[in-house]
Amino acid sequence: MKRIGLFGGTFNPIHFGHLRSAAEVRTRFMLDKVCFIPSALPPHKIPSGIADANDRLEMTQIAIKGYPEFFLSDVELNRQGPSYTIDTVKHFQSNQTEPVIFFLILGLDAFLEIDTWKSFKELFRVIPFIVMTRPGFKYGGIKDKFAVISDYLKTKISDGYIFSNEDSGYIHKIYQPVYILDVTPIDISSTNIRMLIEKKEPVSFLMPQEVELFIKNKGLYI
Ligand code: ATP
């Protein structure tokens, strides 16, 4: 069966933190492909300072060009209103001509906010998660990420989740597994890139050069 990772984000702009982490997830979980899905109006982010959806789509396209294991979806940009992951997952799961198993890829920072997402419990029923560690992200002062994730899952989702060493993640009788992957720590964020651009500081080597050029030519984030 085909294995596809769904990787959503604002990608405002896309950077090497996204790209390298997604590449490592792909290899480690033997995914055939990873789909990058730029979100329309991110429900959790303040809309100021967000580049136009088409620009974010184009930057993502430019960034993954030449890497056939990555592809792009504009499904969230073509939908009216804000992007809800549950709708996106259902879209993919119900539009396949061959059997595919989907995985939802996201960083630990995003994962620990999931209880604010629409129909979040349903998400745990319908799709397995791959949660990537993210440097610079503090878990409310607690050092051990497993303690934090375990507490989060048990209090917000279901206390039936148990850690499985073999699967390197949490498993449940009814809900889908939540896998945890330590990716190479790359401490880059879109916020930081936007701040550097605003301060007219160089942003080289934080993202593919073609993306940097696109931002420059379009005068984004200044
Ligand atoms: P911003 O700084 O604007 O919040 P961001 O850099 O977090 O943006 P997003 O587009 O919001 O980027 O991220 C999309 C997904 O990628 C999220 O699940 C996030 O956790 C993950 N992600 C972003 N940067 C990294 C990174 N450096 N390492 C691992 N995961 C990352």
Q: What residue segments make up the domains of the chain, in order of their start?
A: 2-187
How many A from CA of 23 to the centre of ligand 1?
14
Question: Is the minimum distance from the CB of 37 to ligand 1 under 6 angstroms?
Answer: no
Given this model, what pLDDT does residue 81 score? Answer: 79
| Strand order, beta sheet including 100-107 | 70-72, 33-38, 2-9, 100-107, 129-132, 178-181, 169-171, 162-164
How many A from CA of 13 to the centre of ligand 1?
10
CATH 3.40.1000.10 holds for 2-187: no
How many A from CA of 164 to the centre of ligand 1?
26
What tokens appear for 146 in the block?
């497993």
Read off the pTM: 0.95
Under a CB-based contact definition with an 8 Å cutoff, are residues 59 and 215 in contact? yes
Between 209-218 and 53-64, two packed helices, what is the crossing angle to 10 degrees? Answer: 150
Q: Which atom of ligand 1 is nearest to the CA of 39?
A: 10
Given this model, what pLDDT does residue 192 score? Answer: 95
Under a CB-based contact definition with an 8 Å cutoff, are residues 12 and 51 in contact? yes
Under a CB-based contact definition with an 8 Å cutoff, are residues 187 and 20 in contact? no
What tokens appear for 12 in the block?
């405002």
Quick: pLDDT tens for 53-102: 899 999 999 999 999 999 999 999 988 878 899 999 999 999 888 999 99
Question: Is the minimum distance from the CB of 190 to ligand 1 under 6 angstroms?
Answer: yes
